[in-house]
Protein backbone atom coordinates (compact mmCIF):
# COMPACT_ATOMS: atom_id res chain seq x y z
CA UNK A 1 0.00 0.00 0.00
CA UNK A 2 1.27 3.48 -0.80
CA UNK A 3 1.58 5.48 2.41
CA UNK A 4 2.42 9.16 2.86
CA UNK A 5 3.85 10.61 6.06
CA UNK A 6 3.74 14.15 7.37
CA UNK A 7 6.11 15.81 9.83
CA UNK A 8 4.06 18.90 10.69
CA UNK A 9 5.91 21.98 11.89
CA UNK A 10 5.14 25.63 12.54
CA UNK A 11 7.31 26.90 9.67
CA UNK A 12 8.07 23.78 7.60
CA UNK A 13 6.22 20.52 7.04
CA UNK A 14 8.07 17.51 5.67
CA UNK A 15 6.45 14.86 3.49
CA UNK A 16 7.58 11.36 2.59
CA UNK A 17 6.08 8.39 0.77
CA UNK A 18 6.75 4.68 0.51
CA UNK A 19 6.35 2.35 -2.44
CA UNK A 20 3.34 0.03 -2.70
CA UNK A 21 5.40 -2.86 -1.31
CA UNK A 22 6.17 -0.80 1.85
CA UNK A 23 9.87 -1.42 1.52
CA UNK A 24 11.42 2.03 1.51
CA UNK A 25 10.34 5.51 2.56
CA UNK A 26 11.56 8.42 0.42
CA UNK A 27 11.31 12.19 0.88
CA UNK A 28 8.76 14.05 -1.24
CA UNK A 29 9.18 17.70 -0.29
CA UNK A 30 9.21 20.29 2.44
CA UNK A 31 6.31 22.74 2.50
CA UNK A 32 7.58 26.15 3.62
CA UNK A 33 4.34 27.52 5.02
CA UNK A 34 2.84 28.27 8.42
CA UNK A 35 -0.79 28.82 7.38
CA UNK A 36 -2.52 25.47 7.93
CA UNK A 37 -5.11 25.74 5.09
CA UNK A 38 -2.29 26.29 2.57
CA UNK A 39 -0.38 23.30 3.95
CA UNK A 40 -3.51 21.15 3.65
CA UNK A 41 -4.02 22.46 0.07
CA UNK A 42 -0.53 21.27 -0.87
CA UNK A 43 -1.01 17.90 0.81
CA UNK A 44 -4.30 17.50 -1.05
CA UNK A 45 -2.62 18.24 -4.39
CA UNK A 46 0.22 15.80 -3.69
CA UNK A 47 -2.14 13.10 -2.44
CA UNK A 48 -4.18 13.37 -5.64
CA UNK A 49 -0.95 12.75 -7.60
CA UNK A 50 0.62 10.10 -5.35
CA UNK A 51 -2.67 8.44 -4.36
CA UNK A 52 -1.76 7.17 -0.89
CA UNK A 53 -4.20 4.86 0.85
CA UNK A 54 -3.04 6.04 4.27
CA UNK A 55 -1.45 9.21 5.64
CA UNK A 56 0.70 8.94 8.76
CA UNK A 57 1.07 12.13 10.79
CA UNK A 58 3.88 12.36 13.32
CA UNK A 59 2.68 12.74 16.89
CA UNK A 60 5.19 14.52 19.11
CA UNK A 61 4.92 12.97 22.54
CA UNK A 62 6.74 13.93 25.69
CA UNK A 63 9.42 11.50 26.81
CA UNK A 64 7.01 10.17 29.47
CA UNK A 65 4.53 9.24 26.70
CA UNK A 66 2.05 12.03 27.41
CA UNK A 67 0.71 14.32 24.69
CA UNK A 68 1.40 18.02 25.12
CA UNK A 69 0.15 21.13 23.35
CA UNK A 70 2.16 20.45 20.18
CA UNK A 71 0.75 16.92 20.03
CA UNK A 72 -2.79 18.27 20.25
CA UNK A 73 -2.06 20.62 17.33
CA UNK A 74 -0.84 17.65 15.30
CA UNK A 75 -3.97 15.62 16.11
CA UNK A 76 -6.15 18.53 14.93
CA UNK A 77 -3.96 18.88 11.84
CA UNK A 78 -4.38 15.16 11.03
CA UNK A 79 -8.14 15.48 11.39
CA UNK A 80 -8.11 18.39 8.91
CA UNK A 81 -6.14 16.29 6.42
CA UNK A 82 -8.61 13.41 6.80
CA UNK A 83 -11.63 15.65 6.26
CA UNK A 84 -10.12 17.49 3.29
CA UNK A 85 -8.35 14.66 1.47
CA UNK A 86 -10.83 11.88 2.31
CA UNK A 87 -7.93 9.56 3.11
CA UNK A 88 -7.52 7.57 6.31
CA UNK A 89 -5.03 9.23 8.66
CA UNK A 90 -3.18 7.75 11.59
CA UNK A 91 -0.98 9.25 14.27
CA UNK A 92 2.51 7.81 14.83
CA UNK A 93 4.90 8.50 17.69
CA UNK A 94 7.62 10.77 16.35
CA UNK A 95 9.79 11.10 19.47
CA UNK A 96 13.41 11.74 18.53
CA UNK A 97 12.78 11.64 14.75
CA UNK A 98 14.25 15.11 14.24
CA UNK A 99 17.31 14.06 16.25
CA UNK A 100 17.65 10.98 14.01
CA UNK A 101 17.17 13.13 10.90
CA UNK A 102 19.97 15.46 12.05
CA UNK A 103 22.20 12.44 12.65
CA UNK A 104 21.57 11.20 9.09
CA UNK A 105 22.37 14.66 7.73
CA UNK A 106 25.56 14.74 9.82
CA UNK A 107 26.54 11.35 8.38
CA UNK A 108 26.09 12.70 4.84
CA UNK A 109 27.85 15.98 5.72
CA UNK A 110 24.78 18.05 4.76
CA UNK A 111 25.25 21.56 6.13
CA UNK A 112 23.85 25.07 6.09
CA UNK A 113 20.81 26.09 4.10
CA UNK A 114 20.52 22.71 2.38
CA UNK A 115 20.31 21.03 5.80
CA UNK A 116 17.59 23.41 7.01
CA UNK A 117 15.59 22.80 3.83
CA UNK A 118 15.97 19.01 4.07
CA UNK A 119 15.67 18.03 7.73
CA UNK A 120 11.85 18.03 7.83
CA UNK A 121 11.54 15.73 4.81
CA UNK A 122 14.14 13.42 6.35
CA UNK A 123 12.16 13.44 9.62
CA UNK A 124 9.05 12.45 7.62
CA UNK A 125 11.08 9.58 6.11
CA UNK A 126 12.13 8.46 9.61
CA UNK A 127 8.50 8.53 10.79
CA UNK A 128 7.30 6.54 7.78
CA UNK A 129 10.15 4.03 7.83
CA UNK A 130 9.47 3.40 11.52
CA UNK A 131 5.80 2.79 10.74
CA UNK A 132 6.39 0.41 7.83
CA UNK A 133 9.10 -1.47 9.77
CA UNK A 134 6.60 -2.01 12.61
CA UNK A 135 4.18 -3.68 10.15
CA UNK A 136 6.64 -6.41 9.19
Residue pLDDT, tens place only, 13-66: 999 999 999 999 999 999 999 999 999 999 999 999 999 999 999 998 877 878
The confidence score (pLDDT) of residue 126 equals: 87
DSSP assignment letter at 121: H
Q: How far apart are CA 131 and CA 121, in angstroms?
A: 15
Q: How far apart are CA 50 and CA 130, in angstroms?
A: 20
The confidence score (pLDDT) of residue 94 equals: 81
Q: What domain range is 96 assigned to?
A: 3-134
Domain CATH for 21: 3.30.420.140
Contact 62, 68 (CB under 8 A): yes
Summarised one tens digit per residue, pLDDT across range 82-123 is: 999 999 999 998 866 666 665 655 666 555 655 556 677 888
CB 132: neighbour CB atoms within 10 A?
A: 19
Number of domains in the chain: 1
pTM of the model: 0.86
To the nearest 5 percent, what fractions of the chain are helix, strand and coil?
50, 25, 25
Amino acid sequence: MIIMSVDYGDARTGLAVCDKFEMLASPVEVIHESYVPKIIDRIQILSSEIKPELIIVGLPKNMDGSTGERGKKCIDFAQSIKERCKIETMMWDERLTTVTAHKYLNDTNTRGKKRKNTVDAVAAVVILQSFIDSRK
